[in-house]
Amino acid sequence: MNVKKIALFVVLTYLLSYALVPLYFALGGTKAMPGMLVLGIAYMFIPLVVAVVVQRLVYHAPVRRPLRIAFRPNRWFLVAWLLPPVIALATLGVSLLLPGVTFSPEMAGMFERFKGVLTAEQLEEMERQAKTLPLHPFWLALLQGLVAGPTVNAVAAFGEEAGWRGLMLRELEPLGLWRASAIIGVVWGFWHAPLIVQGLNYPEHPWAGVFLMTVMTVLLSPLLAYLTLRSGSVITAAIFHGTLNATAGLAILVVRGGSDLSVGVTGLAGFVVLLLANIGLLVFDRRFPFETVSKEAANRDTGPDA
């Protein structure tokens, strides 16, 4: 484990990331789309850029093989693709068990969340379009998420995963899956802070959202690390990450009530589901020990290095 490499990667990633958001607003950027979308995508690629710089320019080391950048598909790619919508649907179910939260097939709760963002005319137009769709927006969102998740979303997610589950996981792997994942989860969570305080994921509670986002990333980290090690490829983590981003909205699309702290994948309901998923992973990992997983990952042919 190279502590200096980890520290350099984290410090550079935080410095560039924390500087990018204020620079964006200083140059006239606003919270409106598409500006925030462009900012978010640029933000996601910073860990990849820093990982390449640290590997190539500082340590003069290869990039592809050490960061587990391997494109050969295996069954874990399929798991990474299908597990996120299961998490989103399970979160929807848990949300409906919370006090004051009800099922709303007419999507009243979603429209309420947009009241502070869209004008009355825009909201009316959105409702009108939803009623004319051939399928309920919930099913269309699921189909779109399953298409976008492993494609365009995964490309953006790869920008993060090459750093978190690429460089950091490789260096922290001697600590074991759970301790390494906890450290990565904390670093990954607080890295989001400049965007969270601008309203990302927690528009009603931006400052509390920084800590809740970190809870979520700590809970997500073992799943992403396990998929990376089991498949021998960080691309698996990018598929999971991208598909989760694309399908997480399903958990709040047809619910009314609650807040950004309680419902959704980023709220209490999502934390319950992710905790159960980690318990399931722990049981599975005891049946197939972590050492076995590491050996499989290490012995898999990842192709020529670069």
Q: What is the pTM of this model?
A: 0.91
Paired strand residues for 256: 102
Q: What integer pLDDT is reported at residue 292 of this predicted model?
A: 43
Taking only the tens place, the pLDDT of each residue in 148-174 is 999 999 999 999 999 999 999 999 999
Q: In whole numbers, what is the pLDDT of the chain averaged over residues?
A: 90
Q: What integer pLDDT is reported at residue 299 of this predicted model?
A: 42
CA distance 273 to 264: 10
How far are the Cα atoms of 21, 154, 156, 213 from residue 159, in angstroms, in the given order? 17, 9, 5, 19
Q: Where are the domains of the chain?
A: 3-299
Taking only the tens place, the pLDDT of each residue in 169-211 is 999 999 999 999 999 999 999 999 999 999 899 988 999 999 9
Calculate what percentage of the chain has a pLDDT beyond 70: 92
